[in-house]
Structure formats: structure tokens, C-alpha cells
A = this chain, B = another copy of it.
Amino acid sequence: MTKFEIDRSLVVRIMDDLSRYGSDGGTGITRTVYSPAWVEATDAYARWVEDAGFAARRDAVGNVWARLEGATDGPCVVSGSHIDSQTPGGRFDGTLGAVAALVAIRTLKEQAGTPRVPVEAVALCEEESSRFPAAGLWGSRAITGRIAEDDLVSVRDFDDIAIGDAMRAVGLDPARILEARRDDIDAFVELHIEQGPILEQAGFPVAIVKAITGIRHYQVVLEGTQNHAGAFPMDLRRDPMAGFAEIASGLIDTAHRWGRPAVSTVGRVAVSPNGTAVIPERVTFTVDARHPDPDSFHRLCRTHEAHMLEVAARRDLAIRWRTLIQFEPSPSDPAIVEALTTAAAIQGVPHLVMASGAAHDTQQMAQIARTAMVFVRSKDGRSHTPEEYSSLDDIVAGIEVLTAGLHRLAYRGESA
């Protein structure tokens, strides 16, 4: 029963170093893919890979890899997360998982020797869509071979720069992007901050993620008749604001009554013409609906759609919507969840088993590998803000679970 010791000061040194690149005041980080700060951060990650005694390999899309060779060639076990950030985000979202993976394989090499199959750590180039709104997990999509040639031109940043041109500007050749594809990965395990309050509320430092939520984003347009706010009696109005308010209340109430882990959010609203004394003509809004169980996810979406149609029909409003994104729920691999749970028990780390309500690179990696995740407690459940924070104790607990879990997968034959 191997128990691993994590070098706390190494974790601090790498995290502190990486927080310098894209520093955006205080604890803020603005580090979008293919920006100068991103180049510096990937260079720094590569230096830490080499400091750990591995060769740093950059693939065609800019992911940085470290490989602990195994007794056989594979299929291998991989861990990692993304190195880009929100604008500004904090120091932990993504970066912690890339660092944890590197610390884990260094620890394995030093404390467990050569694995049965190779174990790799990766800093993924892009996950946040914070520079290219349609990037869509660019780093992991390159690994799974899901980037179409057209994406290199059609995916553009807020200055209308094509992502292919942004790659060229940092020395990457977009024509070689297919070379980033991997077909030799058996298992992918991502460590990430929770980004929610569940661990903090429950009093646990770490969770094993049993599924990643399904997500559907609707953009809904609700239309009535614009009229004078004073001269038009209530009983003759076709007021889309009244319909919107009823719909938003209903969607939120439905998810609330379903209970965890169902969530639904109305985050974005635009009113036309948006005048104080004008009954609106149109209210456009988004609905974000999530559930990690496939059947429940589709039932939640159907319930919301039925509610929207019913309110619009009853109020004589026109309604239409389109789906902006849809990610199906991604259940974790039961054997990996079992390996991580056992690892946590061996390391003596108290843990929950829970679903992820956020999207992650792991969802993309699930297309080519068995997957699971490790969550580390977030202070106040915050993320996508400079205030996001996870304590060193919790981080080390998470890396212990990750390390011991990777050990079970790559050394003990629990892989494949």
C-alpha cells in the first residue's frame, strides 16, 4: 500500500512562478491563448518539466507535455488541465491541474520508479474561450482530432484575428494541427478547483468527480407589441416583459424544486427598445440548463421548453429559440472513480463523490479515453475572478489523491 508524500514547497514554487505570467493586479491573471503572457507561461511550464527531469514536448497546437516512460509503450495514462485564464481570472482555475499533473509524475518517478505504462502530464493551451469565444476547448479538441480545417479561419478573437493567424504569430504551424491528435491514451484524469461551494459547505477538501454535467444554452426571443406605457391598459397589452418574468421565475423554480444537481440560470437579457415608458417589443434572454444524468438532462430541457411554449401561447407572445451550445453529460469511468476513491482512502484524504456542474477539458478527452476528475475545495465557491482561492493544504490533498490514483492506474494494472 504505497502512500505518497507531496513536496509542498515545490507546489508553491511552481504556482508562484506561473502566477507571474499575465499578472493583472493583485491575484488576478489575464492569460489568453497565444498571447505574450501565455507564451511566457508555457515556457515556464516547460522549464519546470525539465527541472523535474523530463523532456518538454510542445505539440502542434501549443499543449506542453511531460512523459514518464513506462515498461511498455502504452496505451498511457494522462493528467493535466489548461493554462489559459479568464480576463481576469485567478491563479488556480486550470493552472492548478497542469501543475498538479507535473508534480504527480515527478513524485511517481521519485517515489515509485518506472510505471507499467507511460504517465504524462499536460498543460492544455486553451479552455476558457476568453479570447476566441468559439474556441471550444481548443487544446483538448486538438488532442481528440476534433478541430476542422475551417476552424483555423472561422474561429476569431474580439479583434477579428483568426486563431490560425494567432498560432502563426507564436511560432506554431496551423497546417500541422492534426499532428496534435493522440490515439494512445487509455485514461485521462484532470485535477481542477471545484468552482462551487459544495465541498466547503460539506467540509471536505477534495472530491472525486463521478460525472460532468450536460449543458444546454438557449437563446430565446420573446416578442409582443411595443406600446405607450401610460396610454395602453394592462388588459390589452402583449407585454414580453411579463412573459419573460414568468418564464424566468418558472425555469429557476423548476431547477430549484428538482434539487441538486439540477441547475438553471438566466444570465443574459436584452430588451428592445429598452425605454422606461415603453412596453417592450422584444425581450431576448439566455437559459443555461444543466444536469449530469443523461435522462434527467433531457427531461429538464424538455420541461423548460414546455414551460416557455405554454407561457408564450397563453400570453399571445411570439417565441423562438436556438441552441447556442449543447454538451451531453459525461459520466466518469467507474474503474477510475474506484481507483481515485481507493487512492484517497490510502492517502487518508476525506472526500466526497460528486458531479461537476462546470464544463471541463475532460468532457472532450472522454471522446478518446476513459476519464474522471479530482476537485479541490474553492473558498466561497468562487472562480473566474481574482478572488478564487484554494488553500495549500487542500491543494496538496488533491495532488496526493491524483498521484496515488495515477499510481493505481499506471503501476498496478488498473488501467485498461
Contact = CB atoms under 8 A, between A and B. Distances in A.
Contacts of A283: 269
B235 A260 contact: yes
A390 interface: no
Interface in A263-292: 263-269, 271, 274-280, 283, 286, 288, 290
Contacts of A275: 267-268
Contacts of A256: 234-235
How big is the A interface, by class? 35 or more
A260 B279 contact: no
Given A233-B198, A252-B245, A267 B276 contact: yes
Contacts of A276: 217, 267-268, 286, 288, 324
B269 A231 contact: no
A171 to B, nearest CB: 32
Interface centre among A233, A275, A384 (most CB of B within 10 A): A233
A306 interface: no
A197 B232 CA distance: 6
27 contacts: A194-B231, A195-B231, A196-B231, A196-B232, A196-B233, A197-B233, A198-B231, A198-B233, A213-B230, A227-B381, A228-B358, A228-B384, A229-B265, A229-B288, A231-B356, A231-B378, A232-B357, A232-B381, A233-B260, A233-B261, A241-B265, A246-B249, A249-B249, A265-B278, A267-B274, A267-B280, A268-B276
B269 A271 contact: yes
Interface in A281-311: 283, 286, 288, 290
A325 to B, nearest CB: 9
A274 B263 contact: no
A230 B359 contact: yes
A378 B269 CA distance: 32
Contacts of A324: 276
A356 B385 CA distance: 50
Nearest to A232: B196
A383 interface: yes
Nearest to A262: B234
Contacts of A268: 271, 274-276
Interface string A66-79: 00000000000000
A236 interface: yes
Contacts of A278: 265, 267, 384
A259 B234 CA distance: 7
Given A201-B236, A231-B381, A234-B256, 7 more contacts: A231-B356, A231-B357, A241-B265, A245-B252, A267-B279, A267-B280, A269-B283
